[in-house]
Structure 1
Amino acid sequence: MPALSQLNLERHDEIAVISGGGALDANFMERLADLSSSVEDDVRVVILHPQIGVWSGFDGATDIGDLFAQFAEIAQPTIAVLHGPVMGGGLELALAADIRVAAADCQIGLEALSNGFPRAGGLQRLTRAIGRSRATQLLFLEQDIDAATALDWGLVNAVSDNPLETATDLARSIASRGPIATRYAKDAIRHGLEMPLAQALHYETELTILLQDTNDRAEGVDAFVGKRTAQFSGT
């Protein structure tokens, strides 16, 4: 078995799980970038489930900038499994995922101003996730919130006593859908937020047109007409 302190990627059918990593340090970030770039095309969902210490924040890392860009730019949907205290850089990492599932006993906070300043794209992703007012409250007051509050705010998508199991169930549900359409939807959401509405609508239309020529689109239509479950090939 791989060492728990080493971040690793394992395949479980169409789901990839990134796990391990003892601390959110320079080695972790370098390894995460490498693994993010190596996700195979036929993977449909990526789950991020590092050791609990990773979520507690940066450990000796001094880099600045969007440190989790390569993870955020994985084409497939990503799900982060949060447990323990999720603080500072740990929260910034969680925000780079598309979906976040938190353990019921999670405590979440940014604590950025006391420690200098957010340095991994956290402010921009936080504001997009929960809105300006709540992002400002979390940043300026530096008061931790519990998992139930995070769910109410939209900071996490689910709270569970077994967050990995819940994340896996979500991943299987996503993986059962058309993988090309799912990737295009993620692309449209991610890039559309950075565009004026008219441009974003045009971009979404372009992706829809591209989808029309895929085998998955034909399979989806045929399955709908035939009242059966579609079997998507990802082509």
Structure 2
Amino acid sequence: MTASFSIFVTSTEIFMIVTTQAIVLSAIKYGDTSLIVKLYTLSDGIKSYMLKGVLSSKKGKLKKGYFQPLTQLEIVANHKNKGTLESLREVKTVNFYQSLQTDVRKSSIALFLSEMLVISLQEEEVNQTLYHFISNSFQWLDMNEEIANFHISFLIELTRHLGFYPDNSHEDYPYFDLAEGEFVTSLYNEVLSEENLVNFKKFLHRDYDTSAKIKMGKTHRAELLDSMIRYYQLHLSDFKKPRSLEVLQQVFG
């Protein structure tokens, strides 16, 4: 599906009716009956919407169940593009998940990675390649069972789209400099080394199927994930550690 647009002019405002695919990043309760939802849209990148009364209405077109983390939708929305909250006219689910939101392992990953996406994509504009990467990634997660390494593989691959994918020109060097994003021979900044470095290298340039077969104990997986979060922190301004990290670590390490 490609996005479609129609421009409408009233006596008081100009707005655009947009039909596009979108992925739910977050939904925050507003007052007693409403939600503010953040979506990553194919047409416009990050967009936030006010859903008035959605928590109290039983007959409306918009149901709160549509807005679970990483649900993939087709939406019809009013976009004023003034930097304010937009509104939704219609919503339907596409690319239905079979297990992602009911399997506790997968839902833990989904919660953590949706939070990482909210933190990482705050200034993101239209990027259809990134949109399809996110969409395809979570369809893979939904359809597969060897998922203990998925979140690490996803975070490494996401850096390719964010502009700080690791430079592996000198992969034989003994350290990986987290601040510079490259392999080095000296301890100048924070680095990955020893077992953590060995495990990190295993994920570079690997797809999800190959990454799923990487063997790591819970402790080493937790250490590598902490290092990846630190890597993001060093490369993204105003980065905050995800609150859902502790839950994920309890499930996978």
Q: TM-score range by the shorter chain?
A: under 0.3
The structure with more strand, counted as a fraction of residues: 2
Structure number with greater Rg is 2
TM-score computed with the length of structure 2 as normaliser: 0.26
TM-score computed with the length of structure 1 as normaliser: 0.28
The structure with more helix, counted as a fraction of residues: 1
